[in-house]
Amino acid sequence: MKRLNDKQTIIKEILKNVPDRFEDIVMKAIHFAELAHNGEKRFSGEDFIIHALNVGLFAAQIRLDTSSVIAGIFHQTTSKRFKTEEQIKKVKGEIKELFGEEILQIVEQLEQLNQATKINKFGNTKVLTKYMLSSSKDIRPLLIKLCDIQEEIKTVEYLPKDKIKGFCKKVLDVYSPLSEFMNFAETKKFLDESAFKILDPENYTVIEGILKEYGINESLKKKYIRYLKTLSEVLDFKTMITGRIKSKYSIYRKLEKYLKEGRNGKIVEISDLLAFSVITKLVSQCFKTSQALKMFTNEREERFDDYISNPKPNGFKAIQMTTQIPEISRLFVEVQILTDEMYYFNTYGPASHIAYKASRVRFARSQNDIDWIEDIHTSITKHINQRETRFSIPVNGEVFKDQVFVFTPKELLIELEKGSSVIDFAYKLHTNIGHSMIAAKINGRLVPITYQPKTGDVIEIISQKGKTNPDSKWLSYAKSTSTKKKIRNRLKMKTPVDRKR
């Protein structure tokens, strides 16, 4: 999505991308934001309203509901960077009165996301991404935040120099995985490439040059798609063809992996620089397509896999081929052939890449808690389909419901299994902290050690100096296998004097 710099042009585009019936309230919101941001400037010297309107425009262009578009326009109207606490309170009151409680809640949730992503507070950015997903029952604030980040990275050069690399690293570590979890492939690619270009311009330029040398671009991709469509027509059945060019950052990561494995590090040896899916209605059509490709193209037989006849342990099904079509290019490309039912399962079910990422198990099975992947996809589709007639459409989904995400008093984020006690939390911090624990506070309040934390809790462990032994009763309160092992190991080491205590 192209960034616009002229206010009137942006307003015109926003109105073109929202339902006609809601144009009046959108214009009212734009005027409100203009007043709220009056006199506020970005680091570039540009009026802040330009950024705010672009975020709203991006939200409209990805077809979010009108309340999300307005919340996108309002996303920084309550920023502490520009306003006092009293001014913020006044703006919030006006938003609630003029536009409703729900829009104010989305704006406040966006504030919380901004607070949560202060990277210096988190040791594990993967846990941060999961926390952001799990703490948002309505994921519209996350979708708006991705619009905000796409807009921010387009003007990243205007940030103070000491903040640019930190911001780009945050994009790669937090927002790129976030977009992947929500299955926004194009957003992920844009964020990856934009951040990579800033963080490693030398390698970015080298990869870009090689892609140009081999003519790997959208035009080449379309030629392959036309070829595969023609092949389907010759075979006399309808198919859907999709294709993608591997991102420059993904290429860089793949080359790094090859080098670690001692393999050939040449870009053109990456088999999925260009990758295509041929999606059919029937299984028999998959095999007919693969036979035709074997007959008319130069297939690499050693890279042929029939996962339809022999599915992967996680249920993944498809025929995968690496082949060369000389009349188009000398490159080898990856072709995946599967039915629409297989495609859906591989994208949103236990066989999906998202499920693998979420579970950190190479072959995620159906019992893994990944139902939310399909739930979010369904909810977003419904959201888009209803936006013309409904002003506000929540995008609901319970994500990572088997995990709990809590904070230390110093705002370090910790991931626990659902059902864990504060004992598990203490031992997760450090074995000695667990052994020496005598009490715990949740959000400043003393709780029993059997207490099971909830996402967002701030937990303080109270220790006793010189205490080195846990209570054997703790074994019945602990959830984690690791915690129980640490307690058992320490109990076995207790001295005769310890046992008399």
Residue 379, Cβ neighbours under 10 Å: how many? 18
Measured between alpha carbons, how far is residue 21 from residues 27, 59, 263, 381 in Å? 12, 17, 59, 21
Angle 132-357-252 from CA coordinates, rounded to 5°: 105
Helix/strand/coil for 27 = helix
Q: Which domain CATH number covers 28? A: 1.10.3210.10
Residues 221 and 349 in one domain: yes
Per-residue DSSP letter, 117: T
59 within a domain of the structure (yes/no): yes
379 within a domain of the structure (yes/no): no
**Cα(175)–Cα(480) distance, integer angstroms:** 29
Residues 34 and 154 in one domain: yes
Helix/strand/coil for 152 = helix
User: How many H-runs (helices) and E-runs (strands) does the chain carry?
Assistant: 23, 11
Helix/strand/coil for 42 = coil
**Cα(295)–Cα(321) distance, integer angstroms:** 13
Q: Which domain CATH number covers 300? A: 3.30.460.10
Token digits of residue 278:
């041929």
Of the candidates 376, 315, 364, 375, the residue with the CA atom closest to the CA atom of residue 341: 315
Residue 279, Cβ neighbours under 10 Å: how many? 21
**Cα(405)–Cα(413) distance, integer angstroms:** 7
Residues 362 and 492 in one domain: no
Residues 94 and 154 in one domain: yes
Token digits of residue 125:
């950015």
Residues 31 and 74 in one domain: yes
**Cα(95)–Cα(33) distance, integer angstroms:** 10
Residue holding tokens 């960077």?
A: 81
386 within a domain of the structure (yes/no): no
Instruction: Point out the domain boundary residue: 133, 162, 189.
Output: 189
281 within a domain of the structure (yes/no): yes
36 within a domain of the structure (yes/no): yes
Identify the pLDDT of residue 434: 93
1 within a domain of the structure (yes/no): no
Of the candidates 138, 133, 95, 104, the residue with the CA atom closest to the CA atom of residue 116: 133
Helix/strand/coil for 360 = coil
358 within a domain of the structure (yes/no): yes
Residues 155 and 129 in one domain: yes
332 within a domain of the structure (yes/no): yes
Residues 36 and 148 in one domain: yes
Which stretches within 364-418 are classed as H helix?
371-386
**Cα(455)–Cα(415) distance, integer angstroms:** 9
Per-residue DSSP letter, 330: S
Residue positions counted in the chain? 501
Identify the pLDDT of residue 370: 63
Of the candidates 422, 402, 400, 425, the residue with the CA atom closest to the CA atom of residue 412: 425
Pairing state between β 459-463 and 437-442 = antiparallel
Residue 40, Cβ neighbours under 10 Å: how many? 17
Residues 122 and 255 in one domain: no
**Cα(14)–Cα(66) distance, integer angstroms:** 10
**Cα(414)–Cα(127) distance, integer angstroms:** 7
Angle 101-102-106 from CA coordinates, rounded to 5°: 120
Instruction: Point out the domain boundary residue: 157, 189, 221.
Output: 189
Residues 136 and 227 in one domain: no
**Cα(478)–Cα(488) distance, integer angstroms:** 11
Q: Note the pLDDT tens digit of each residue in 273-304.
A: 999 999 999 999 999 999 999 999 999 999 99
**Cα(299)–Cα(325) distance, integer angstroms:** 9
Identify the pLDDT of residue 397: 76
Of the candidates 46, 47, 25, 44, the residue with the CA atom closest to the CA atom of residue 36: 47
Instruction: Point out the domain boundary residue: 164, 189, 214.
Output: 189
DSSP characters over 208-247: HHHHHHTT-SHHHHHHHHHHHHHHHHHHT---EEEEEEPP
Residues 444 and 495 in one domain: yes
Range of the domain at 308: 206-368
Q: Which domain CATH number covers 459? A: 3.10.20.30
Identify the pLDDT of residue 120: 44
Long-range CB contacts for residues 77-86, cutoff 8 Å, separation at least 24: 77/32, 77/33, 77/36, 77/37, 77/52, 77/107, 78/107, 78/108, 78/111, 82/37, 82/40, 82/48
- Tens place of pLDDT for every residue, the chain, 501 residues? 778 999 999 999 999 999 999 999 999 999 999 999 999 999 999 999 999 999 999 999 999 999 999 999 999 999 988 899 999 999 999 999 999 999 999 999 998 888 777 644 555 777 888 888 887 788 999 999 999 999 999 999 999 999 999 999 999 999 998 898 888 889 999 999 999 999 999 999 999 999 999 999 999 999 999 999 999 999 999 999 999 999 999 999 999 888 887 777 788 888 899 999 999 999 999 999 999 999 999 999 999 999 999 999 989 999 999 999 999 999 999 999 999 999 999 888 777 777 766 665 444 444 445 677 778 888 888 999 999 999 999 998 777 888 899 999 988 889 999 999 999 999 999 999 999 999 999 999 999 999 999 988 999 999 998 888 999 999 999 999 999 999 999 998 865 545 555
Identify the pLDDT of residue 266: 80
Residues 176 and 213 in one domain: no
Task: Give me the number of domains the chain comprises.
Answer: 3
Residues 429 and 336 in one domain: no
